[in-house]
Chain A
Amino acid sequence: MKMPLTFMLNNQQTTLEVDARQTLLEVLRNQGGMTSVHRSCEEGECGACTVLLNDEPVNACLVLAASVQGASVLTSEGLVKNGKPHPLMKAFTDELGIQCGFCTPGMLMNAYALINRAGDNLLTDQVIRKTLEGNLCRCTGYVNIIKSVHTAQKAKLAGEWW
């Protein structure tokens, strides 16, 4: 069943022609051009496809595109402002929380929501580890990813954030 889908994609009202059987992952990549949303397991296990749906991280491969009608979806492309990396992205580059880069966009989105939720509360390693448990990374051993999240939160508390 073909249908028009209207939703906020990275803060812009967007209408795409989709098929009801498509997942949000397929639509974001194929029709939306958001190739940072990576595809691996398609079964919700790896987190590479993590995006924010109404500000909360979800696995795009487990969301039917049709169900996001009227919702807001944020991908890591949406964090970039005027071509500039988001402070969170800068933290991941500075701390080398990125190696092959395949898990990174999903990590970024989950970490972004986490840091926003945390407000002024300093995140502990334990909270970061628990929150990112659904984002598998095979390269980094997570150590530098956790460092990156701490560094990013500091940037946020210092007022560098959007």
Chain B
Amino acid sequence: MPDNSAGNSAIENSVMRNFIGSRAMPDLVYHSPKEISDLLSMVDAHGTSARVVAGCTDFIPSVRTGRWSFDQELNLIDISKLPVLNQIEKTDDVLKIGASVSLTRILESPEVKVHCPVLAQAVEQMASLQVRNTATMGGNICMASPAADTVPPLLVSDAWVIIQDAQGEHKVLLTDFFTGPGRSVLTSGQVLTHICIPVKKANEAAWFQKIGTRTAVIISVVSAAVRVTISNGVCDTARIALGSVAPTPVRVAEAEQFLEGKPLDDQVIAECARMAAQAISPISDLRSSKEYRKDVARTLVKRSILACREALK
């Protein structure tokens, strides 16, 4: 995630790194496997010197800003040329998206439009066309940024990821994937290969909204995704996820539970939004204060539920 890493923020007398406007790329060996088996053996063989990249739109800025530095020669394993990871498939009730599918392809995919429109809605508001043309959803998830915009829609969609390593395939619910800012359950030797999303049902609507200091090409100050299913005018299931308000994107369970079993009237929605904002304790940083984050989270949740209600009419 592009941020202000040219200088560190902790003040200590000796160990602060030099301010350098743009840092050099590390020495690296470039690998471009064409088969999953090659990929897995490379990741396994190179251990901690291996780094899997897809679109590089996070990798390169991280190097330039010094957020990442490498003492040893790096084995860069580019998964973007793997045909099997470059597919969007629909099987039964699941939409399965390969880790190297670009954001642009997700945005333009008819399957995504029909089966997970809230994801397309989020992707459309991400980065710029140039970045979307190379960046991947796998990368967006793996960088584990609290502000990653594809994550709230995936969380509310009950998505899971498939991780592969020498031992085989593992299915991990996205709710269990993140362990902190920039951290996830992925360990060295593992690759995220697919993202799986249960398809949208008939009585269901979902909505994504984000807010930043500017409209376009902006990292979210807060993002919100909501998904509700309705039967007989009453909310069956509710999912509410927020980005940029905690060390990882989060779901707000209490607010979700509050909504379930209730009609989506204005009062219920307002209360639910209030609870969602109540549940989070964001931090202040260079993009926003915690007060604004809490405040606007409430508005985004409220508006997203309203939009779902409108869509279900």
Partners in one complex: yes
Chain A contact residues, CB within 8 Å of chain B: 1, 3, 20-23, 42-45, 47, 50, 53, 56-59, 61-64, 66-67, 69, 110, 130-131, 133-135
12 additional A-B residue pairs with CB within 8 Å, beyond A22-B25, A63-B56: A21-B25, A21-B27, A42-B22, A43-B65, A62-B55, A62-B131, A64-B78, A67-B30, A67-B80, A133-B216, A134-B129, A134-B217
Closest residue on chain B to residue A18 by CB atoms: B30
Taken together as a complex, chains A and B put the C-alpha atoms of A5 and B26 apart, in Å, by 19
| B284 interfacial contact with A, CB 8 Å | no
| Interface residue? B130 (CB, 8 A) | yes
With a cutoff of 8 Å between Cβ atoms, the chain A residues found around residue B80 in the complex are: 67
- Most A CB within 10 A of own CB, among B2, B22, B80, B131: B131
A134 to B130, CA, bound (A): 7
Which residues, 52 to 101 on B, are CB-close (under 8 Å) to A? 55-57, 60-61, 64-65, 76, 78, 80-81
Asked if B231 is an interface residue, CB under 8 A from chain A, the answer is no
25 examples of A-B residue contacts, CB within 8 angstroms: A1-B28, A1-B30, A20-B29, A20-B76, A21-B26, A21-B28, A43-B60, A44-B2, A44-B60, A44-B128, A47-B130, A57-B129, A59-B131, A62-B55, A64-B56, A64-B60, A64-B76, A66-B32, A67-B30, A67-B56, A67-B80, A67-B81, A133-B216, A134-B130, A134-B131
Contact of B130 among A22, A59, A64 (CB under 8 A): A59
Contact B130 A50 (CB under 8 A): yes
Say yes or no for B134: interface residue by CB 8 A criterion: yes
Chain B residues with Cβ below 8 Å from A21 are 24-28
Query: Among the interface residues A3, A22, A47, A57, which one has the most CB atoms of the partner chain B within 10 A?
Result: A57
Partner of A67, one of B78, B128, B130: B78
Nearest-CB residue, chain A, relative to B80 = A67
Q: CB distance A134 to B127 under 8 Å? A: yes
| Smallest CB gap from A64: residue in B | B56
A62 contacts B56, C-beta separation under 8 Å: yes
| In the complex, B104 has a CB within 8 A of chain A | yes
CA distance A59 to B58 in the complex (A): 12
User: Are A62 and B57 closer than 8 Å at their CB atoms?
Assistant: yes
The number of residues on chain B lying at the interface, defined by a beta carbon within 8 Å of a beta carbon of chain A, is: 31
Q: Main SS of chain A's interface residues? A: mixed
When distances are taken between beta carbons in the complex, the residues of chain A under 8 Å from B60 are 23, 42-44, 61-62, 64
Q: Among B32, B104, B134, B217, which residue has its beta carbon within 8 angstroms of that of A133?
A: B217
- Judge whether A1 and B27 touch: CB under 8 Å: yes
Which residues of A are found within 8 Å of B128, using beta-carbon distances?
44, 47, 133-135
Interface residue? B8 (CB, 8 A):
no
Closest A residue to B53 by beta carbon equals A64
B133 beta carbon closer than 8 Å to chain A: yes
Contacts of A3 in B (CB 8 A): 30
Provide the bound-state CA to CA distance between A62 and B62, in Å: 11
Min CB distance, B5 to chain A, in Å? 11
Say how far B147's CB is from chain A's closest CB, in angstroms: 15
Q: Measured between alpha carbons, how far is A66 from B130 in the docked complex, in Å?
A: 18
CB distance A131 to B130 under 8 Å?
no
A45 to B65, CA, bound (A): 13
CB pair B64–A110 under 8 Å, yes or no, is: no
Residues of B within 8 Å of A63, CB to CB, are 56, 134
Q: A-B pairs with the 9 shortest C-beta distances?
A: A134-B128, A21-B25, A133-B216, A66-B30, A20-B30, A43-B61, A59-B130, A56-B133, A134-B130
B131 touches A64 (CB 8 A): no
Chain B residue nearest in CB terms to A50: B130
- Residues 164-200 of chain B: 1 if any A CB is under 8 Å from the residue's CB, otherwise 0? 0000000000000000000000000000000000000
